[in-house]
Structures are given as structure tokens and as C-alpha cells.
Amino acid sequence: MPHTPYPTSYYAASANPVPPRPELKGETETDVCIIGAGYTGLSTALFLLENGFKVTVLEAAKVGFGASGRNGGQIVNSYSRDIDVIERTVGPKQAQLLGHMAFEGGRIIRERIAKYNIQCDLKDGGVFAALSAKQMGHLEAQKKLWERFGHTQLELMDAKRIREVVATDSYIGGMLDMSGGHVHPLNLALGEAAAVESLGGVIHEQSPATRIDRGANPVVHTPQGRVKAKFVVVAGNAYLGNLMPELAAKSMPCGTQVITTEPLGEELAHSLLPQDYCVEDCNYLLDYYRLSGDKRLIFGGGVIYGARDPADIEAIIRPKMLKAFPQLKNVKIDFAWTGNFLLTLSRLPQVGRIGDNIYYSQGCSGHGVTYTHLAGKVLAEALRGQAERFDAFADLPHYPFPGGRLFRVPFTAMGAWYYNLRDKLGV
């Protein structure tokens, strides 16, 4: 199998050193075989190892090759659809349970970083920025909603206050979440992989799962080997392909693009984001940005339904960056890349079990840095026989995208165009 390197990105260029992780060759036996070494797979592996399970992780490319090593690095609380929508969808009892979990992922990340001494430039503080009165109204309601679930580190900001934390005139206000924040996402994944190995877990890179023999004793096949396991956890998300055809109809890979400037220097960087918070706006197709550890601006935005790779990423994202920060017009872009996340129609995660022993979690629809860490804990609990929290996610209803395989991309793009237009008109 050809060696698959990391795609070019600022994160790959500034990754902490890692050991070589050999491809799986021959047969091996384990308690749990995890497919995919992104946050979902690694978080699950860590919780299982901490509870005495034997774990083997199969990664098609390299640790953090997928969204976990390419994302905006923003620790954003809750889910891609908030708890009020969940309440309307599944009723108050299940919403209570999911609401109380909505802030746990961020805590898990911080615990992991501290416990395993992971060097990943953690910074506290995330801003949701409002571009219209309607969005500001949503943030006010969101604050009340989150406070009902015990989350109190929130501050509403008016136009003057948000200007103190983001040097742009784009926003009419916002909300600061001090339990949000940001990290170097690939270094977080690499640190978690090292933690997995420190506890005796095994990770094979360049080892795609090509087939699963289902049944009482599942076997996962790779091009040169196979893993016999008691349980399988499928954590391939937008990069899974057709390994589990029953999951594919209710989710759709989407691309989003990120650019990174040259180092700005302390003074310019500080003038843009004086407290070093990360920012995402409240649009349906949102822009998100933050400073890196070495004071570059990392700016992402836009969505390509169906995950086609755009020819010129800088041409798409740079104008968005300059709209927020015209003062960067002479700054060079050093890196531009694309990554895929997995969208579901409800924008809530797709979680469940196939038969008795194949578990999956995927499809957190754009906001997944915190959820995937929580997912690892919830999946590990289910494998230990405590499935109440797992069931709360597994019971969320999911539907196929309208239009089937042929038309789901244009249909969804049309829907997004409509919401984008509403954002632009502020209605």
C-alpha cells in the first residue's frame, strides 16, 4: 500500500516529533479494535485503556490525518445543534441528559492535556460573534439555555466590548465563553496517541480496515493483516468511505478550508486579538479564526458539500479574512488546506451499535473537537455495560438526505444558500 503522508498544512509543518508506527502485518487479537485514529478513536482508546481493556487502533493513514489534525482548533461547547433543538426533537428527559453532557468534552480535553502533559498550545476563551440583531438575540437565549445546564463562564458583549477583544468593526456584539478556547489540533491528537501507547495500546498506521467479518467474534481485515476482537468501534467519520454502507445514507462528507498567514509578530497579532481568544461568527456558513502559538492568523470558513477539493483555497478564504481584518492586506499566506467533516441532516451526531459488538460515533457536523472527546467516554461506558448516556445519543433520530446519493449534494447546497442569504439580509 502506498504511504499516505499528512496533507500540507501549518499543523503538519509544526507537528511535534512522533515515532514511526508500523503497518499491521499478520494476525493479532485484542479486546477492542478501533477503526480511525482521530479524536473519536483516540479518546475511546484512552478511556478503554484506563479501564483495563486491551486496545488496537487501525489508522488508514496517520494519527490525526483526518479532521482532527486539520481543524480550526477551536474548543466549542455543546453540539452543532443546541440543546433547545434537541429538546424539541426528542423531549425534555433525553434533552436533560444530553444537555448535561454538552460541556463535558472541553473538560475532558483539558484533563487529558494536563494528565498526559500534551504540548498543544492550549489557550482559554472563545468568542461567538454576532453580525445581526437576530444573531445577538440567539446568543442571549443561548446564554440562558447554557446557564440552565450549569454553564456559567459566559459573558454577553456589546459592540464596544467585543471591539476590545477582536479588532474588527464587523460585529454588533457577541458572547465570550471562557471554557471555550483553542489548541494546535494535530499536536493534541499526537499527544493523545502517545498517551494511548503509554498505557499499552497499539496503533497501526497505514492500515486501513477494508472489511469487517461481523458476528459473535468480529474480525477486521487490513491489506496485510487482521484483528480478532470482542468489540469493534468505527471512528472513521468523513474518511470512512463505504466500509459501513448502512451509515453512509444518513451522512454526507463536506469540505471546509483553512488558511494560515506568515508569522505576524507580537505587535500586529496582539492588535488583532489582544486576549488571544478564538472567534467564530454566528452565520450558518461561518468564519472561524484564531492566533497560532507562533502568532500567525489561522482563518477558516466556507463549506463545500460533497467534499470536493477546491482548486484555489486562498482565493476563497483570503477575501473573508480581509473583510474581517483589512489591515492584513499585505500579509502573505503561508499555508492553505482543506479537510472533511461529516454532516448529518439534523446536524446531531450519529451514534449507535450494529449487532451486539460493533459501535460507531460520527457526524458531529462541523463542531466536533469537544463532542468527539465526550464520545470516547460515552462509547467506553457502553462497552463497560453502562449504556444510559450512549443510548441518549443513539436514540437521536436520523434521516437520509433528500435527493439520494445523486441529488443530496445540490439539494443541501440549495438549503445552505437559503440560510446564507438570510444571514446576509440579517433576517
Ligand X SMILES: Cc1cc2nc3c(=O)[nH]c(=O)nc-3n(C[C@H](O)[C@H](O)[C@H](O)COP(=O)(O)OP(=O)(O)OC[C@H]3O[C@@H](n4cnc5c(N)ncnc54)[C@H](O)[C@@H]3O)c2cc1C
Rule CB under 6 A: which residues touch ligand X? 35-41, 58-61, 65-68, 70-74, 76, 208-209, 235-240, 243, 256, 258, 288, 300, 339-341, 362, 364, 366-369, 372
Q: How far is the CB of 109 from ligand X (least distance, A)?
A: 10
Instruction: Find out whether 367 and 381 touch, Cβ atoms under 8 Å.
Output: no
**Can you tell me whether residue 43 is helix, strand or coil?**
helix
Look at the alpha carbons of 243, 244, 246, 250 in this order and tell me if their dihedral is positive or negative. Answer: negative
Question: Would you state the cell numbers that stand for residue 408, as one nine-digit string?
Answer: 443530496
| Side-chain half-sphere CA neighbours of 331 within 13 A | 25
Q: How far is the CB of 330 from ligand X (least distance, A)?
A: 26
Closer CB to ligand X, 134 or 249, in the complex: 249
Q: How far is the CB of 230 from ligand X (least distance, A)?
A: 19
Closer CB to ligand X, 240 or 379, in the complex: 240
**Can you tell me whether residue 126 is helix, strand or coil?**
strand
Look at the alpha carbons of 175, 143, 257, 57 in this order and tell me if their dihedral is positive or negative. Answer: positive
Task: Quote the DSSP letter at residue 332.
Answer: P
Cβ-closest residue to ligand X? 368
The total number of residues written for the chain in this structure: 427
Closer CB to ligand X, 76 or 83, in the complex: 76
Q: How far is the CB of 93 from ligand X (least distance, A)?
A: 27
Closer CB to ligand X, 40 or 132, in the complex: 40
Closer CB to ligand X, 173 or 236, in the complex: 236
Q: How far is the CB of 50 from ligand X (least distance, A)?
A: 18
d(CA 118, CA 120): 6
In 149-262, where does DSSP find H-type helix?
159-165, 185-198, 245-248
Q: How far is the CB of 35 from ligand X (least distance, A)?
A: 5
CA nearest neighbour of 260 among 329, 337, 312 = 337
Closer CB to ligand X, 40 or 135, in the complex: 40
Closer CB to ligand X, 125 or 236, in the complex: 236
Identify each DSSP E strand in 277-402 by its residue range: 278-281, 287-291, 297-305, 333-343, 350-354, 358-362
Q: How far is the CB of 47 from ligand X (least distance, A)?
A: 14
